[in-house]
Structure 1
Amino acid sequence: MNHLAEFPETTYTSKQFSSYNRLSVAPNTPGWFANQDGDGTSSPGFEEDLGGGEYLICDVNGPGVILRMWQARDHVNPLMNGNIKAYIDNKLFYDGSATEFFKNPIITSVQNTGIDETLFQEAFVQGTMSFYFPIPFEKNCRIVWIGNPASAYFYHVLVRNYPKGTNVKTFSAEDLTDYKDEIVSVAQVLSDPKNNWQYSPQSQEVQASLIVDANQTEQILSLTGPAAIEKLTIKIDAANIEKALRQTVLRISFDGYPAGQVQSPVGDFFGSAPGINPMDTLPMIIEPDGTMTCRFLMPFKESCEIVIDNLGSQDVNLACSVSTVPYQWDEDKSMHFMARWRTDNDITAYPFNSPDELGLEDMSYLLAQGKGLYVGSAVMLYNPAPVPIVQGSWWGEGDEKIFIDDDTFPSIFGTGTEDYYGYAGSTRADAIISPYAGQSRNDGPVTRGFVSNYRWHISDPVLFREKLDFYIELMAVTEISNFYYARVAYYYARPGVIDDHVLISKDDVRYIERQPWMPVAGRGAENSIFYQAQDVITDANNIQLVSDNLWAGGQMLLWTPTVTGDKRTFDLNVTESGNYKIRITTANTPSSGIVSAYVDGTRLNFYEQAWKGNSVLTKDLFNPYRAASRTLHSPDIVLLNVGQHKVDIVYEGKSADSTGSDVGIDSLWLQKQ
């Protein structure tokens, strides 16, 4: 990653070819927020309809490299059907399944090298379906999709284009053998960044521990250059740790920069908030005990000051460790590291189908003028939507739009916020941690509550020579009020850059608490009846109520079974006969066990993941680090007549990694079909 701190001698342009809706043609014109990017019911966008069922994804002339490819998937399977013909330097490079192409177009070549295929897949196929292995070409690259566009899905192909005459060696299968040792070394780091990252043997560590009183500012360290920080570690302790992580602001000023190139709440700076959300990524690590580490190289010519502003009302204990390495500042290439945080509090997220696109907006991450490299984004939000299913609570339909230099239309135009952050289909409720992109927190049920996503542009930094304007649309599926949207933009910049950063105020870092809520039978949950578990349980032995606004009505029923096969019965009163689907909203925690369920004595199937795909008879409720609300969806349609019906939840044993046998039930609900 250290090369990111110097402006490249050989410049390049970045271009993402994606299925974005071609009705978007110019900012602030009709269609700018058009949302149909290809979902199996609407056709995705292509560069050109070539006729005969062939569609052009990209046609790039000159030397370059494919940096990243991504395809949509549901809970289990990739969705980019059809076939691909890909040409590199006018030669057929790939001819076959589009799904396999986007997943890994060189896997057959890998299998012939002796490289561990599992290691390769873990390292270079990240998140759900992001392929990150570079494929260089000397002359050109052309990718054609073949199939029926009415049933095709979203896609991305990110390409770097070098100036004409740049010496680039075209990819060949032999490269995998020739560079096998290097590939394996990189793969090992990506598969376990925390343990396999190599720090400089010249590194020198400086430590500081102090108490930062409420509403006070303290300098942690003052360093003399030239040097570079290669590792910054911070751990905070306070009476309310989540509040402290948001209201304790980190400022780092290199070479006398007045307000600091880095200004961000401590927790947000490390790419995951609120609270402690463990993750192991290439530049950022958060450990379960709250130790947070940044490995972006931070060079400086003369000085570096690290300051903490405690904008909260509680004292904070802070421990900081900084490791520096020798660095020779280059007047022509060296850049400062920048991290710019901003938030929009208590706003409304409008739906994608708002009449005349009313209320939809591009949320700015960074507007910068100068020279630099954009290297990462993180978003931390609070979504209070009360509909407990994704069709009514999803917040992330908005596309990324990145204008580079003299762009009048974005060079990088995406297909959805979750697609940019490396997953797909709005449906991944659980944590997704990979070296470059992922989701470290999602409270639930489905996509409500606190959510935190990150994306590191380590192998695909976005270079700008004059300016960069980075936006992501805020676009939901229903109107959501009292929405909170914070984000961090990470970039390197040559001295003299200016950007739109506004100094962080106390109001910006106000403590956001979960608000009381009850499930609503809105979009996607029409004709639903909700039953609070504590209101319909028949046996309260070994039962307690846990109070927290994570749970509907502010309470969750916690049952602690003593033996496998123990059960609890819930009586549901049905007032209208009909066919129903049954769902159970549960607490997934570090101490949760495994359960099954029966309706009137008939065992229920549950989807293995979310609400599609394979079915299973038991569900493991274990979640490793924090309590989360998750809904068990059954594919079964059950005929229920008017009257009382019994739902039995059975304890099937302890999860392998769980610390206990807890079964938490928030609510049960019936949806008439």
Structure 2
Amino acid sequence: MPSVHPPFLRSCCWYCGAVWTCMLIFSGVSAQETVSLDFLLHEMLDRESVLKAPEEFTCRQFSSFDRRAGSPEENWFANGDTAQFLRTEERNGKTEWVLMDVQGPGAVVRWWITAPQYRNRLFVYVDGASEPTFSGEVDELVGGAFFCEAPLSQETARGRNLYLPIPYAKSLKITCDAMPEQKNLYYQINYRTYAPGTKVESLTPAVLQAAKEKIRQTNETLGKLPVWEDSFAETVQIVPGECVTVQKFTQGAKIRRFTVCLQTADPVLETAEDLAQFRAEALRSLILEITFDGKQTVQCPLGDFFGSGVGVNPYRTWWTEVREDGTMSAFWPMPFLENAEIRIRNVGKKAVSLKSAGTVSPLDETFAKCPKNDFLYFHANWRQERMIETLAGLGTRDWNYAHLEGRGVLVGDVLSVLNRVSQWWGEGDEKIYIDGETFPSHFGTGTEDYYGYAWCMPKWFESPWRAQPRAEGPGNFGNTTNLRFRTLDRIPFTRSLRFDMEVWHWSATKVDYAAAVFWYGTRDAKILASEPAKLYAEAASPVSYKTPFQMEVCGFHFAKEPNGHAAVQGMRSFPNGQWVRNEQLWWHGGKPGDELELRVTIPKNARTVRLGLTRACDYGIFEFFADGKRLGGPWDACNPVSGSGGVIRETLELPIPEELADGKEHRFFIYLVGRSRLSIGTMFGMDSMEFLP
């Protein structure tokens, strides 16, 4: 495989602003510079800004996380993540609720918010002002056009996002009013704190007005991608079990763009479905491995590295792009001092032909002279866990994305989830611990909130820093890929960083989580608990671009997705019955004529089936069938006694036709007839099905 080394004869034609000085890259903001709106917008567009020293600033978060979550031993998975504030204040005879109050110098660098409706106003007090520096309706300030247009201020899948930075020299306080009318308000605010003495020009209406053209240009630039010229381009075939070097560098340089595209000339791929499945398998089982200056820092499946997850899912951000034809690119700057090697390992079962290309430039003098202990290398790590058993309506556990040690900067992550039911999987909050914190300084309000959307929306979206390129459906069923990349909201750490995400599902089911984490670190920085053999085994595990229907609730296997909602309901709190495992299959939201269709195996000696059923004041009338043969009913599940005392369990026995008792799988139907005049609903509950001789 050819080596690439300076002098470089091909370059990249692109705009990214001026090159940072050595002082900026390796020692933080210089004493002569002032952090301002213009300064931060310039930093936003400079991809090399992520290489700045970890000591320059800290990044923390205010949010509406449930304050009952005091420790892992105390309500750690409490889910009341709305309308939680620091305190209330009286101002001009009215109450204001405080979302954020912090001393400067600093800057708000990302603001996310959502609510079922917006009925109140936000107030931003800069540098201790007695009157709001900015104020307006919630949906105008965040995600609206108050400060600027999209993509800096944008709504994506009902999540409202503001990425226009708000610098402040002394302090910043954010409040809202009318919470009794508003009721629910979910929010996350990421902010930087600079070292004391850092010069900051605070944002004011006059500064904002003067920057309108700069903001417009920034939005325009964020909507474009550079035009790159190849410094190398190679096509290789990788057979199962082989690791192929696709490019080797023998002198210090900087990779600025890396691109791959699967080549699929296999005549077996006759249909679009065949092609989609081939890509899904290949992009998970091909592992990208990169070594910089003798140390491997990248080990990640190709699909996850480029943010596509399972299969080819087109989208575009400031840092990555996936095209319809399967071309995938990443624009992370990857400098190295002496040498580098890019390899791709095939842990799958099929040979794959792959084209790779990249743009490389000489190492700037500031990088070349950087002390080796301060030089930041690009890292990308991946892990997966399959068949995580979730609890219904409760937090299951904290799932670790990565545990990093040393000095570095967290710049992004990609989460791919396989959900085997249509109910929402992502109530879990992010918990990020920096430099040995015992309580996370980033405690979120929900997985989709972290990724910039809201309300479990299975909707495709893209933006410069966040995207949902895959939401398979129906509902939240199947493969979902969420990603978040960080520029101004990147998280520096000087000793350690631990990144957890709660697994919190509304159903008792089994889910797969796979996370890729992107970060920069010094030569001594490392990720803990990295096991290549386990990574290879997980990457080789089966994937499906189109997820086969496999819904299971309380041990009942569904033949198809029902109308309405079928989920696990915990029954421990109801006093008048002994439900199996203290839970039941709960079906609600169905209409007369709807049915549950279950897959059941009827034993050869079965003559009767005994059902454990629930009766309550809001339950319906049902009939029961097996393979089209009526077994019994109508059966009225209404017990006209309100309250928990009226929820009872009883059994119902139905005859099994002899011809169905053959030891094979059959379809068992629960048909919703309607409701009696005494019932206030059409719900159904069942905890057991027992075949009797």
Deviation of 1:525 after TM superposition, in Å, equals: 4.9
2: CA distance, partners of 1:452 / 1:415? 19
**In the alignment, structure 1 residue 519 sits paired with structure 2 residue 558:** no
Equivalence for 2:206: 174
Deviation of 1:7 after TM superposition, in Å, equals: 3.0
**In the alignment, structure 1 residue 448 sits paired with structure 2 residue 492:** no
Residue identity matched to 2:455? G
CA contact (8 A) 1:204 1:325 kept: no
CA contact (8 A) 2:384 2:538 kept: no
**In the alignment, structure 1 residue 420 sits paired with structure 2 residue 459:** no
TM-score, length-scaled by structure 1: 0.70
Deviation of 1:224 after TM superposition, in Å, equals: 2.5
**In the alignment, structure 1 residue 221 sits paired with structure 2 residue 247:** yes
2: CA distance, partners of 1:95 / 1:431? 31
SS at match of 1:121: coil
Give a deviation string over 1:21-60, Cα, whole Å, max 9, x none: 001122x21211111112xxxxx21112446643221111
- Where in structure 2 are there 5+ consecutive unaligned residues? 1-45, 270-277, 551-559, 568-585, 600-618, 622-671, 676-680, 685-693
Q: How many pairs were matched up? A: 506
CA contact (8 A) 1:519 1:530 kept: no
* Structure 2 counterparts to residues 470-509 of structure 1, below 5 A: 470-481=499-510, 483-500=511-528, 501-503=530-532, 504-509=535-540
Which protein is bigger by CA-based radius of gyration? Answer: 2
Equivalence for 2:385: 344
Deviation of 1:189 after TM superposition, in Å, equals: 2.1
Deviation of 1:361 after TM superposition, in Å, equals: 1.0
Q: 1:270 aligns with which of 303, 306, 330?
A: 306
SS at match of 1:129: strand
1: CA distance, partners of 2:59 / 2:497? 12
Equivalence for 1:461: 490
SS at match of 1:122: coil
Equivalence for 1:247: 285
Equivalence for 1:366: 402
Give a deviation string over 1:350-396, Cα, whole Å, max 9, x none: 2343xxx5xx21111111111111110111111011xx5xxxx1000
**In the alignment, structure 1 residue 153 sits paired with structure 2 residue 182:** no
| Cα 1:24–1:532 shift into 2, 3 Å | closer
SS at match of 2:281: helix
Residue identity matched to 1:485? Y
Residue identity matched to 1:2? R
2: CA distance, partners of 1:406 / 1:453? 27
| Cα 1:220–1:126 shift into 2, 3 Å | farther
**In the alignment, structure 1 residue 405 sits paired with structure 2 residue 435:** yes
* Structure 2 counterparts to residues 47-196 of structure 1, below 5 A: 47-50=86-89, 53-73=95-115, 79-91=117-129, 92-104=132-144, 106-107=146-147, 120-125=149-154, 127=156, 128-148=159-179, 151-190=183-222, 192-194=223-225
| Cα 1:430–1:85 shift into 2, 3 Å | closer
Residue identity matched to 2:240? A
Residue identity matched to 1:228? K
Q: 1:316 aligns with which of 352, 360, 379?
A: 352
CA contact (8 A) 2:432 2:498 kept: yes
Residue identity matched to 1:36? G
Deviation of 1:531 after TM superposition, in Å, equals: 8.2
CA contact (8 A) 1:362 1:474 kept: yes
CA contact (8 A) 1:439 1:452 kept: yes
2: CA distance, partners of 1:250 / 1:397? 31
CA contact (8 A) 1:81 1:153 kept: no
| Cα 1:261–1:58 shift into 2, 3 Å | same
1: CA distance, partners of 2:161 / 2:589? 37
SS at match of 1:447: coil
Q: 2:261 aligns with which of 232, 235, 242?
A: 235
Aligned alpha-carbon RMSD (Å): 2.9
CA contact (8 A) 1:94 1:105 kept: no
**In the alignment, structure 1 residue 299 sits paired with structure 2 residue 335:** yes
SS at match of 1:495: coil
Give a deviation string over 1:563-599, Cα, whole Å, max 9, x none: xxxxxxxxxxxxxxx999xxxxxxxxxxxxxxxxxxx
- Where in structure 1 are there 5+ consecutive unaligned residues? 39-43, 111-119, 536-551, 554-577, 581-638, 643-669
2: CA distance, partners of 1:180 / 1:341? 40
1: CA distance, partners of 2:155 / 2:363? 32
Q: 1:22 aligns with which of 61, 67, 74?
A: 67
Residue identity matched to 2:376? M
2: CA distance, partners of 1:532 / 1:24? 41
Residue identity matched to 1:285? E
Give a deviation string over 1:582-637, Cα, whole Å, max 9, x none: xxxxxxxxxxxxxxxxxxxxxxxxxxxxxxxxxxxxxxxxxxxxxxxxxxxxxxxx
Sequence identity of aligned pairs in percent? 28
Equivalence for 2:662: none
TM-score, length-scaled by structure 2: 0.68
| Cα 1:182–1:227 shift into 2, 3 Å | farther
2: CA distance, partners of 1:641 / 1:10? 66
Residue identity matched to 2:187? Y
Equivalence for 2:459: 430
SS at match of 2:133: strand
Equivalence for 2:413: 377
Residue identity matched to 2:81? D
| Cα 1:184–1:334 shift into 2, 3 Å | farther
| Cα 1:531–1:641 shift into 2, 3 Å | closer
The 10-residue stretch of structure 1 (131-140 or 237-246) with the greater mean CA deviation from structure 2: 237-246
